[in-house]
Each structure stands twice: as C-alpha cells, then as structure tokens.
Amino acid sequence: MIIFTLSFQKQRGVALITVMLIVAMCVVIASQMTNRLQIQMQRTTNINSNQQAYWYAMGAEAFTKRVLITAFKGDENVTHLGQTWAQGETTYPVDFGEITGEIIDLQSCLNLNALRALPDNSNNNTQKVSQTKVPARLALESLIINLELEGVSQFEAESMADALSDWLDEDSRISSAGGAEDDDYASREFPYLAANNYLANVNELRIVEHFTPEVIHALMPYVCVIPNSEQHKININTLDAEQPALLEALLGSTLDEAQEILNARGEEGFETKEEFFNLPEVGRIKDFDNRKDQFVVDSEYFTLKASANFNDSFFAFNSVMKITNNKYVDVISRTIGRN
C-alpha cells in the first residue's frame, strides 16, 4: 500500500512538471506570435506611410506642371525670375506631414552633356581634332579656372574637359593628353569602362578622370545635366545674380563685368535677346559676337526638387521636365533621393 502511494505521488509530480513545461512553451510561442504580429503591424504601417509620402511627392510634381503652364500663359516667349515658378523652396502643410518643393531652370546652369556636341562645321572624322571649339567646353574650362581652386591651373582645367569629352563621346579614342578612355578606367583597382554616353547626374563626375571632390563641390552651383540633350542655351534672365561666375565664363569677361550685366537686368529680365545684346555693358565685352549664340531669354527644361514627410516617413526625388509650346509638360527623368 505504501509503495502504491509513493508511485502515485511520483506520477503526479511528473504530470505537474509536464504541465508546467507545456504552459511555458505556450507562453513562449504566444509571446513570439505577439511580437511577430506587432512587427508585421508596424511594417504595414511603415509601408502605408511611405506610400503616402510618395504620393504626396508625386502630387508636388503634378502641381508643378500646373504652375509652369500657368506661368507661361502670360509670357509665352520669356522666362524670368519674376514668374510664379521662381519662388525658391516652398513648404506646404498637409495632413500628418508637409511637402517641400523647389523649381529650378536647367537653362540657368551649364549643361555638362553639351560637351558631347560636335563643333560647328565638323563631322565625326574631325571631332577629336576640333573638340576644343565646343562653346560648352570653353565655358567649363573658364569656369574651373575662375573658381580659383587650389592646385587647379589651366592645364588641370583642360585635362578635366578632355576627360569629360571622352566620357561623353561615342568612340574609344583619347581626345588629347588629358583625355581618358576604357584603358585608363579598366586599369584601376575597381575597374570599369567609360560611359561613351550622356551623363545621368552631375554626381557621375566622381568617376571621371581628373575630377576631384573639391572641384565637383565647387562646380555644383553652376553646372547641371539635361538628360539625353546636348543643348547649350543659357537663359540670361534666370542666371543667379549672386553667382556671376558662370556668366563670366560664358562671356570670357571679368567678374565685375559679369556682375554689371546681371545688375542691369530688370526684375522681369529681357524681353528679347537683342535687348540683352544692346546693353552698353555687353558692348564692352571683347569678342562677344562669337559668344552670343549661347544665350536665350526663354527656357524649356526645368527640374523639381521635391520631398514629402508623412508620419515620420520621408520621400525625396528630382524630376526633370520639358515644356513644349508652352502647353505640354513632359517628365523626362526622375531620380529618387535628395541628389
């Protein structure tokens, strides 16, 4: 009888321990399920917030199209900084966030892709010989020199222009001593090949021979990229009056002469190119007749820098737009991210 009682007590002890283990396992499983459910719910919330931030930013793009079309209804042949699109960075409050956007005229900066253009009266067989005559290349060289960067002389500026011309052109022949093609890039620690095509972004200069971070940083306020376009037409009406270095490079003038010209420009700019050409300040520029074809008073390429916040989610992108006949706005490029 005593033996039976002890055996029964042992079985009850084992059963109790088994029950406790099962309960512990259930608690662990329930805890993991709850944790995973919370993570999944947070992930879903984040996805929804990111999507809403994205659509807020896309809303900024749609609004920009309307602003541009409205701005050019009254001024069909002139683009200037007095129009509604040129308000600088603007922020609009929205539910649970805000939208920030800035519209920039891409013809108020030097299009680096214009270095891909052939010189006047030339063909593919003479491209390498006469590439130095391309106006955009001359302007880039002058701009680099005028920025007075430490260790950058005429030679370095020409080498950068050579390397960029080789990066953009369609062949694999080196333009001059400062140029660089596939062999130069393939021999690096992390090899790659020259694009032999248009730049997609100014940041692409980081992998072009001779361009240093200091040079690229100094060039940023003055240069841009128009996707798949060799156009080199600078709108004199939208050049930044506080940054005359680009106009100085385009004209081959002094900085003071460039500043005088920008100061002579009215709030609504010049109505025609001839009005700009006839300025007394312009008349004093040496060899201006050979440089006047670079300038226009109307623009067709713009970029929107937009960002949106929603419930701590953030989305930013740059959108390049082309205006056709002041009636249609086409988005020709979008770049996700701040730059």
CATH number at residue 144: 1.10.40.60
Does 96 share its domain with 141? no
Taking the alpha carbons at both ends of the chain, their separation in whole angstroms is 87
Does 69 share its domain with 87? yes
Q: How confident is the model at residue 10 (pLDDT cuts 50, 70, 90)?
A: low
Does 116 share its domain with 218? yes
Does 208 share its domain with 120? yes
Q: How far apart are CA 202 and CA 179, in angstroms?
A: 19
Does 158 share its domain with 185? yes
Backbone CA torsion sign across 261, 266, 270, 275: negative
Average pLDDT value for the chain? 88
| Residue 242 placed within a domain | no
Percent of the chain with pLDDT over 90: 62
* Beta-sheet strands, E only, within 53-211: 90-94, 97-105, 110-111
| Residue 202 placed within a domain | yes
Sheet strand arrangement including 90-94: 90-94, 97-105, 301-310, 313-324, 328-336
How does DSSP classify residue 109?
Answer: S
Does 134 share its domain with 218? yes
CATH number at residue 319: 3.30.1300.30
User: Of all helices (H) and strands (E), which one includes residue 18?
Assistant: helix 2-74
| Residue 53 placed within a domain | yes
Of 222, 238, 272, the residue at which a domain comes to its end is 222
Q: How far apart are CA 100 and CA 70, in angstroms?
A: 20
Paired tokens of 288: 């201006």
Top mean pLDDT of 118-127, 249-258, 329-338 is at 249-258
Contact (Cβ atoms closer than 8 angstroms) between residue 143 and residue 220: no
Does 56 share its domain with 122? no
Paired tokens of 119: 């010189």
| Residue 193 placed within a domain | yes
Q: How confident is the model at residue 177 (pLDDT cuts 50, 70, 90)?
A: confident
Enter the pTM of the model: 0.83
Does 95 share its domain with 190? no
310-329 per-residue burial string, b: 16 or more CB within 10 A, e: under 16: beebebbbbbbbbbeebeeb
Does 124 share its domain with 216? yes
| Residue 187 placed within a domain | yes
Q: Is 305 a residue whose pLDDT tops 50? A: yes
Closest CA to 242 of 222, 225, 224: 222
Contacts of 146 (CB under 8 A, 6+ apart): 245, 248, 249, 255
Paired tokens of 118: 């052939």
Does 102 share its domain with 139? no
Contact (Cβ atoms closer than 8 angstroms) between residue 303 and residue 226: no
Phi, psi (rounded to 5 degrees) for 24: -60, -45
Q: Any idea which residue has 């993991």 for tokens?
A: 32
**What is the extent of the structural domain holding 170?**
112-222
Of 222, 241, 273, the residue at which a domain comes to its end is 222
Q: How far apart are CA 136 and CA 113, in angstroms?
A: 9
Q: How confident is the model at residue 39 (pLDDT cuts 50, 70, 90)?
A: confident
User: Of all helices (H) and strands (E), which one includes residue 11?
Assistant: helix 2-74
Does 86 share its domain with 155? no
| Residue 61 placed within a domain | yes
| Residue 245 placed within a domain | no
pLDDT given for residue 11 in this prediction: 65
Of 193, 222, 251, the residue at which a domain comes to its end is 222
Could you report the per-residue pLDDT of 111-151, keeping only the tens digit for each? 999 999 876 654 444 444 455 578 999 999 999 999 999 98
Does 140 share its domain with 90? no
How many structural domains is the chain composed of? 2
Contact (Cβ atoms closer than 8 angstroms) between residue 302 and residue 85: yes
pLDDT given for residue 132 in this prediction: 58
| Residue 12 placed within a domain | no
